[in-house]
């Protein structure tokens, strides 16, 4: 029955969309315009939505995520989620909903909510600039022949599918500075290699995504470490971050699981179908070919591997320099302090600008490309990134809508209500809450900002070791939810980096993420109880790793048994 409903909704997605629009319009006519839309600016600034900080505050995210997974169409799903949020925020007002979709700042002073607001946010614009420039650098490398030359080099040195997967994982772990940078850089460098060894785009997107946020959250020198450090008041944030690394089970187990599954050749869930199709020549499984423009540029036979190394090296060096520059490194701050105080968005925008400038100058000097060809690549790179930009814009807007409805406050209140008598189980509960909040809002950093102060307040001066474990659980849950969420910007970036259909990436990745999350949840129960009874909590890590190894070996045996039955 569920399958039939799903097929019906996919077939009639357009009709469902227009029916929902009709229902919204009918609600407008019945409800009318609320008082806040007609009152002066002073009254508007004090407006609080009727559904603020209630369960309804997370309904827009639930609607968007559910529709995306059911209809396999992400643009309209996100927009409907935004419309539902605006509808709830305006108390079913026509004018309030229309204004809310585009800019809540018109209605409620000081709220950065709506499409216009998120596109005028300096942080968001910085990321979009970085995205466009990175797309242009990829187009330049393709046009110059650098990507083709690297693919030919890798064909000689990377001879197996397992080697290609391990090389992708290694490169992903090596680029730990920032998750956006990780996703797009690993995607552009390794895509020719994974395509040659018949790794599906869905599996490639998973490898990119699973070495983005999970690696950044255990790297002390990263934009994520800087974000966590900024959310800890009254404590040495960097010291807490470092001490929390051994307890960040989801991140550590995800990396372990990837390596084990690559070496043992284990696949399950819908990913197995994608990998089977890739082995038979279909890397995509579904008919659409997203981001096809990025590979459309013709390559020059004069291209060499150095034509790929130069742009990537320039980008890495310039982005790291840009990040620490925004943190005051060149004004006397230490490298670590500069990372902690950095503006990653501005740093990546500055770094990518100088990275592409260096690339163009060196290509011109080496006469690999003409000036006109370089300029044409700028437009090609922009066009290739339009799908990712559109999804990011809608995802940011949906997040701003749920913020305006008080989703964070709703979760924080629910979290505090259960923090009394379950101290030993609290890390596991925090992990689940972090997963839920990050999944619903599509943001890890926002989850840190809500939960870490609560954790510090609950455990500070009571049980320091349990506080460390709980902070780790918060970070792990946030990364897990972010990893699973179709509206997460990191997940969107991974789809763009792999040039994979976004919904395919989400649906194939979800079973893998859930397996790592399940083992992590059990590990947090064990570790929380150990810390609560003042036993060595560090024992939780080897136990968690042993459980993950056991699960992967079990899946391998199950897969082998299934094959034997088919052959017999």
Q: Is the pLDDT of residue 337 over 90?
A: no
Taking the C-alpha atoms of residue 244 and residue 465, their distance in angstroms, rounded to an integer, is: 10
Asked if residue 107 has pLDDT above 60, the reply is: no
Q: Is residue 156 part of a domain?
A: yes
254, part of any domain: no
Half-sphere exposure of 239 (CA within 13 A, CB side): 6
* 60, 86, 114 - which closes a domain: 114
Quote the mean pLDDT of the chain.
Answer: 78
Based on the fold, state whether residues 299 and 440 are members of the same structural domain. no
* Closest C-alpha to 185, from 80, 311, 23: 311
Q: Please, which residues have CB within 8 angstroms of residue 367's CB and are 6 or more apart in sequence?
A: none
Give the model's pLDDT for residue 161: 92
| Interval 249-295: pLDDT, tens | 999 999 999 999 999 999 998 999 999 999 988 898 888 776 655 55
pLDDT of res. 356: 92
Say if residue 216's pLDDT is above 60.
yes
287 Cβ partners below 8 Å, 6+ apart? none
Which of 114, 141, 173 is the last residue before a domain boundary?
A: 114
For residues 350-356, give the mean pLDDT.
90
pLDDT tens, 431-461?
998 898 788 777 777 677 667 767 776 676 6
Asked if residue 441 lies in contact with residue 483, where contact means CB atoms within 8 angstroms, the answer is no
One domain for residues 363 and 427: no
Report yes or no on 327 lying in a domain. yes
pLDDT higher than 90, residue 408: no
Q: For position 168, what pLDDT does the model report?
A: 92
**pLDDT exceeds cutoff 60 at 297:** no
Task: Specify whether 348 is located in the same domain as 375.
Answer: yes
For the four alpha carbons of 501, 503, 505 and 507, in that order, the dihedral sign comes to negative
Residue 9 has pLDDT above 90, yes or no: no
Q: Which DSSP letter does residue 39 get? A: S
Confidence of residue 187 (pLDDT cuts 50, 70, 90): confident
Same domain, 416 and 498: yes
**Any domain includes 249:** no
Position 178 scores a pLDDT of 66
The percent of residues in the chain predicted with pLDDT above 70, rounded, is 76
Same domain, 69 and 15: yes
Q: Both tokens of residue 334?
A: 């230490």
The pLDDT confidence band at residue 14, using thresholds 50, 70 and 90, is low
Q: Which of 393-397, 500-504, 523-527 has the highest mean pLDDT?
A: 523-527
Query: Rounded to whole angstroms, how far apart are CA atoms 379 and 493?
Result: 19
Question: Is pLDDT of 483 > 70?
Answer: yes
d(CA 496, CA 536): 43
pLDDT at 152: 76
pLDDT band for 209, please (50, 70, 90 cuts): very high
Q: Which domain holds residue 543?
A: 389-567
| C-alpha closest to that of 185 among 203, 212, 213 | 212
Mean pLDDT of 105-118: 59
Residue 196 in this model has a pLDDT that exceeds 80? yes
Q: 324 or 199, which is more confident?
A: 199
Shortest CA distance to 130 belongs to which of 497, 449, 504, 464? 497
Confidence of residue 300 (pLDDT cuts 50, 70, 90): very low
Are 160 and 295 in a shared domain?
yes
242 belongs to a structural domain? no
Of 146-160, 404-418, 428-442, 480-494, least confident by mean pLDDT is: 404-418
Claim to verify: residue 380 and residue 396 sit in the same structural domain: no
* Residue 193 pLDDT > 50: yes
Whole-number pLDDT of residue 418? 56
The pLDDT, as a whole number, for residue 410 is 77
**Are 29 and 169 in a shared domain?**
no
230 pLDDT tier (thresholds 50, 70, 90): low
pLDDT (0 to 100) of residue 225 = 66
Residue 41 lies in a domain: yes
Residue 238: inside a domain: no
What's the domain count of the chain? 3
Convert the pLDDT of each residue in 32-55 to its tens digit.
Answer: 444 444 344 444 445 677 788 788
Average pLDDT over residues 389-405: 78
pLDDT for 227:
61
The length of the chain is 568
429 and 476 inside one domain? yes
Tell me the Ramachandran region of residue 363: left when phi exceeds 0, alpha when psi lies from -120 to 50, beta otherwise. alpha
- Name the DSSP class of 114: S
What is residue 441's predicted lDDT score, i.e. its pLDDT? 72
Q: Is the pLDDT of residue 108 over 60?
A: no
Domain-ending residue, one of 114, 138, 167: 114
What was the pLDDT predicted at 56?
Answer: 84
Q: Does one domain contain both 60 and 128? A: no
At 305 the pLDDT is: 82
What mean pLDDT comes out for the span 343-357?
86
Q: Residue 234 domain-assigned?
A: no
Q: What is the pLDDT of residues 556-567, one digit of tens each?
A: 888 776 555 544
338 contact partners, CB below 8 Å, separation of at least 6: 323, 324, 325, 327, 328, 329
Least confident of 274-278, 398-402, 421-425, 543-547: 421-425
Q: Verify that 428 and 541 share a domain, yes or no.
A: yes
Tell me, yes or no, whether 341 and 370 share the same domain.
yes
């Amino acid at each position: 029955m569920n399958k039939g409903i799903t097929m019906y909704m996919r077939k009639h997605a357009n009709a469902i969309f227009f029916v929902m629009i009709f229902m919204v319009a009918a609600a407008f006519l019945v409800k009318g315009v609320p008082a806040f839309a007609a009152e002066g600016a002073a009254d508007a600034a004090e407006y609080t939505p009727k559904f603020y900080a209630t369960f309804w505050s997370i309904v827009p995210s639930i609607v968007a995520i559910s529709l995306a997974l059911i209809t396999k169409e992400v643009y309209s799903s996100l927009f409907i989620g935004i419309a539902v949020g605006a509808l709830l925020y305006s108390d079913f007002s026509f004018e309030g909903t229309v204004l809310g979709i585009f800019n809540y700042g018109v209605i409620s002073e000081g709220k950065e909510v709506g499409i216009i607001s998120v596109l005028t946010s300096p942080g968001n614009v910085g990321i979009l600039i970085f995205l466009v420039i990175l797309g242009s650098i990829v187009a330049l490398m393709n046009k110059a022949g650098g990507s083709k030359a690297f693919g030919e080099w890798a064909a000689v040195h990377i001879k197996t599918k397992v080697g290609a997967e391990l090389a992708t994982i290694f490169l992903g772990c090596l680029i730990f500075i920032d998750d956006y940078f990780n996703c797009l850089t690993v995607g552009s460098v390794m895509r020719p290699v994974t395509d040659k060894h018949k790794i599906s785009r869905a599996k490639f997107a998973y490898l990119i995504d699973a070495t983005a946020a999970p690696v950044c959250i255990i790297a002390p020198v990263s934009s994520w470490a800087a974000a966590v450090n900024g959310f800890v008041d009254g404590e040495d944030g960097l010291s807490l971050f470092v001490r929390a690394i051994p307890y960040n089970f989801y991140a550590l187990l995800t990396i372990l699981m990837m390596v084990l599954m690559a070496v043992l050749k284990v696949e399950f869930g819908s990913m197995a179908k994608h990998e089977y199709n890739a082995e038979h020549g279909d890397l995509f499984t579904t008919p659409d070919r997203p981001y096809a423009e990025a590979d459309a540029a013709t390559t020059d036979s004069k291209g060499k591997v150095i034509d790929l190394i130069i742009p990537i090296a320039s980008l890495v060096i310039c982005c790291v320099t840009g990040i620490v520059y925004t943190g005051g490194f060149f004004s006397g701050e230490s490298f670590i302090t500069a990372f902690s105080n950095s503006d990653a968005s501005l740093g990546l925008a500055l770094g990518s600008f100088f990275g592409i400038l260096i690339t163009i100058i060196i290509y011109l000097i080496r006469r690999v490309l003409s000036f006109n060809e370089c300029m044409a690549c700028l437009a090609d790179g922009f066009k290739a990134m339009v799908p990712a930009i559109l999804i990011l814009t809608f995802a940011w807007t949906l997040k701003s809508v749920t913020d305006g409805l008080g989703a964070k406050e709703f979760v924080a209140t629910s979290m505090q209500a259960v923090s009394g008598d379950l101290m030993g189980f609290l890390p596991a509960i925090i992990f689940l809450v972090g997963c839920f909040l990050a999944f619903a809002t599509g943001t890890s950093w926002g989850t840190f900002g809500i939960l870490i102060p609560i954790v510090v307040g609950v455990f500070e001066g009571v049980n320091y070791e349990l506080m460390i474990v709980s902070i780790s659980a918060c970070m792990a849950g946030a990364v897990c939810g972010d990893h699973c969420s179709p509206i997460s910007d990191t997940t969107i970036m991974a789809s763009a980096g792999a040039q994979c259909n976004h919904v395919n990436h989400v649906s194939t990745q979800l079973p893998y993420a859930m397996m790592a999350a399940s083992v992590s949840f059990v590990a947090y129960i064990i570790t929380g109880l150990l810390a609560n009874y003042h036993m060595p909590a560090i024992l939780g890590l080897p136990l968690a790793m042993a459980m993950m190894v056991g699960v992967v070996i079990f899946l391998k045996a199950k897969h082998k048994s299934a094959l034997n039955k088919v052959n017999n």
